[in-house]
C-alpha cells in the first residue's frame, strides 16, 4: 500500500501554527498588514533584516509560518490570504520599548496593531498608567487563571490598542494561547470591519435600485410596454450583478472574520469583574451593529437580485402571452382568408358547372354528328341530347359538390 500524496500535508496542517510557551513577564507588539507590491521576496528580505537587527537567526526552511527566538526577543510570522501578521516579543520584561520601530521597515499597508503587557506581579497593575481616562473593559479569563484589561482605544502614536494581562495561575502553554487569542481578536476585528465602509456606501445605491424596481413592477401591473420594461430591467440587473461581483468576496470574508472573532472571545471563557464590562459585552455593544450592517447589505443585495429575477420572469410571461395572442390572431387571419377562398370557390361552382356542361354537350354533339349518318336519326338523337342538358348539368353539379364537400366541412 502506498501513502496518499497529500497525507503528510494534511497531517501537518493541524500542527502548522502551534502556540508558544511563555512565562511572565513579557511585552509584545502585534501587527497585521496587507502585502506590498513587491510580493513575497520583498517581505522575506525585510524579515531577514529585522531578525538580524535583534540577533535572531532566520529558520533554515520557511514554509509560511515560523517562530524564532533568542534570550531577549521572539518573532512570530504568519501569512494569510490577503494579509500577514507579525508578533514581536520582548522576553525579558513586561515592556515594549525595545520593540518600538522594528516593524516599520516592513513592506505593505498597516491595518492594525496591539501592544500587550503580560506581567505576573502579585499587585494589580495601575490601569491609569496604561489607559488614562478611557473606559476600560476587563474580565477574568481562562477559568480565573488570568485577568485582561483593555480600552480598545488606539494610542496617539501609532494607533495601537493596549492590553494588560495579569497572570495569576497560567501555565506556559495557556499563556501562549491567551496572548495569541488576544492578538487574533484585534486582527480579525479589523479585517472583518473592512466590509463596513463598503456596506455603508452600498446602502444608498440599494435604496435607489429598490425604488427603480418598484417603479418597474408598478408599470408591469399597468400593462405598460413590456419590451421597454424588460430593457430597463436588464440594465438594472446588470448593475446589481456588478455590485454583487465587486462586494461578494469582501462580504464573505467579513462573515468568516466575524465568526473567528466570536470564536476567539468564547475561548477566553470570561468571568465578569465587578464594575467592568467584559470583552464580549464590548463587542456586542460596539462591533455587533457594524456586523449587522454588513450582513444586511449583503442580504439586501441578494434579495434585490432575486426580486429582479422574479420581475423578469413576469415580464417574459407577458411577452410570451403577447406573442401567443399575435400568433393566434395570425392563424385566425389565415383561416379567415381560407374560408373566403372556399366561399369564392363555391360561388364559382355554378360557372364551373355551366362550362363543364357546355363542353360535355359540345363533345357529345360532335360525336353524334360524326357517328350517326342518317339525318332523321341524327336529328332525333340531337333532340334527345338537347333535352338531356338539365340532366347533365344536374349530374355535374352533384359530382362537383361531392368533390368539394370535405373542403366545406374544414
Q: Are 21 and 164 in a shared domain?
A: yes
Band the pLDDT of 116: cuts 50, 70, 90.
Answer: very high
pLDDT tens per residue, range 56-109: 988 877 778 899 999 999 999 999 989 999 999 999 889 999 998 899 989 999
Mean pLDDT of the residues in the chain: 87
pLDDT tens per residue, range 348-393: 666 777 777 878 877 877 787 777 777 777 777 778 778 887 888 8
Q: What domain range includes position 402? A: 348-409
Say if 1 falls within a structural domain: no
Say if 181 falls within a structural domain: no
CB 77 within 8 A of CB 66: yes
More confident residue, 58 or 281: 281
Q: Are 163 and 88 in a shared domain?
A: yes
pTM score: 0.76
Which triple of cell numbers denotes residue 153?
A: 482605544
- Could you give the CA distance from residue 27 to residue 95 in angstroms, rounded to a whole number? 5
Say if 187 falls within a structural domain: no
Q: Are 156 and 27 in a shared domain?
A: yes
- Could you give the CA distance from residue 301 to residue 211 in angstroms, rounded to a whole number? 14
Q: Are 352 and 321 in a shared domain?
A: no
- Could you give the CA distance from residue 132 to residue 130 in angstroms, rounded to a whole number? 6
Checking if the pLDDT of 224 tops 60, the result is yes
Checking if the pLDDT of 45 tops 60, the result is yes
Helix (H) or strand (E) holding 292: helix 279-347
Number of domains in the chain: 3
Q: Are 243 and 383 in a shared domain?
A: no
Band the pLDDT of 339: cuts 50, 70, 90.
Answer: confident
Checking if the pLDDT of 328 tops 70, the result is yes
More confident residue, 198 or 381: 198
Q: Are 144 and 207 in a shared domain?
A: no
Task: Average the pLDDT over 333-338 and give the result.
Answer: 86
The pLDDT, as a whole number, for residue 409 is: 56
Checking if the pLDDT of 406 tops 70, the result is no
Checking if the pLDDT of 199 tops 80, the result is yes
Angle in degrees, 0-180, between the axes of helices 279-347 and 172-192, rounded to the nearest 10: 40
Say if 339 falls within a structural domain: no
Checking if the pLDDT of 407 tops 60, the result is no
Helix (H, G, I), strand (E, B) or coil at 390: helix
Say if 182 falls within a structural domain: no
Q: Are 224 and 158 in a shared domain?
A: no
List, as one string, the DSSP characters of 174-240. Answer: HHHHHHHHHHHHHHHHHHHTTHHHHHHHHHHHHHHHHHHHHHHHHHHHTT--HHHHHHHHHHHHHHH
Amino acid at each position: 500500500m502506498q501513502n496518499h500524496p497529500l497525507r503528510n500535508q494534511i497531517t501537518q496542517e493541524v500542527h502548522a501554527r502551534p502556540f508558544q510557551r511563555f512565562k511572565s513577564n513579557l511585552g509584545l507588539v502585534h501587527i497585521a498588514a496587507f502585502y506590498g507590491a513587491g510580493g513575497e521576496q520583498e517581505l522575506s528580505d525585510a524579515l531577514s533584516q529585522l531578525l538580524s537587527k535583534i540577533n535572531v537567526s532566520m529558520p533554515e526552511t520557511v514554509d509560511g509560518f515560523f517562530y524564532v527566538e533568542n534570550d531577549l526577543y521572539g518573532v512570530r510570522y504568519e501569512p494569510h490570504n490577503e494579509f500577514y501578521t507579525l508578533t514581536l516579543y520582548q522576553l525579558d520584561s513586561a515592556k515594549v520599548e525595545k520593540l518600538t520601530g522594528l516593524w516599520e521597515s516592513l513592506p505593505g499597508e498597516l491595518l492594525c496593531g496591539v501592544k500587550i503587557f503580560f506581567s505576573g506581579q502579585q499587585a494589580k497593575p495601575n490601569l491609569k498608567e496604561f489607559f488614562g481616562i478611557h473606559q476600560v473593559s476587563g474580565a477574568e479569563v481562562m477559568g480565573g487563571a488570568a485577568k485582561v484589561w483593555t480600552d480598545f482605544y488606539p494610542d496617539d502614536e501609532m494607533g495601537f490598542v493596549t492590553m494588560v494581562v495579569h497572570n495569576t495561575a497560567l501555565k506556559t502553554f495557556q499563556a501562549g494561547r491567551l496572548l495569541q487569542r488576544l492578538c487574533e481578536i484585534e486582527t480579525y476585528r479589523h479585517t472583518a470591519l473592512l466590509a463596513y465602509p463598503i456596506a455603508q456606501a452600498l446602502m444608498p445605491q440599494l435604496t435607489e435600485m429598490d425604488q427603480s424596481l418598484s417603479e418597474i413592477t408598478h408599470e408591469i401591473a399597468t400593462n405598460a410596454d413590456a419590451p421597454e420594461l424588460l430593457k430597463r430591467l436588464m440594465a438594472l440587473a446588470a448593475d446589481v450583478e456588478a455590485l454583487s461581483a465587486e462586494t461578494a468576496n469582501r462580504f464573505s470574508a467579513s462573515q468568516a472574520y466575524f465568526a473567528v472573532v466570536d470564536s476567539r472571545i468564547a475561548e477566553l471563557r470570561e468571568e465578569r469583574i465587578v464594575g467592568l464590562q467584559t470583552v464580549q459585552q464590548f463587542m456586542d455593544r460596539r462591533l455587533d451593529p457594524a456586523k449587522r450592517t454588513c450582513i444586511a447589505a449583503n442580504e439586501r443585495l441578494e434579495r434585490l437580485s432575486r426580486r429582479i429575477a422574479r420581475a423578469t420572469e413576469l415580464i417574459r410571461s407577458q411577452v410570451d402571452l403577447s406573442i401567443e395572442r399575435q400568433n393566434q390572431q395570425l392563424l385566425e387571419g389565415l383561416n379567415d382568408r381560407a374560408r373566403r377562398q372556399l366561399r369564392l370557390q363555391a360561388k364559382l361552382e355554378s360557372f364551373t358547372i355551366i362550362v363543364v356542361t357546355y363542353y360535355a354537350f359540345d363533345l357529345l354533339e360532335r360525336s353524334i354528328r360524326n357517328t350517326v349518318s342518317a339525318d332523321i336519326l341524327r336529328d332525333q338523337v340531337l333532340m334527345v341530347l338537347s333535352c338531356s342538358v338539365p340532366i347533365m348539368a344536374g349530374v355535374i353539379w352533384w359530382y362537383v359538390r361531392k368533390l368539394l364537400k370535405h373542403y366545406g366541412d374544414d
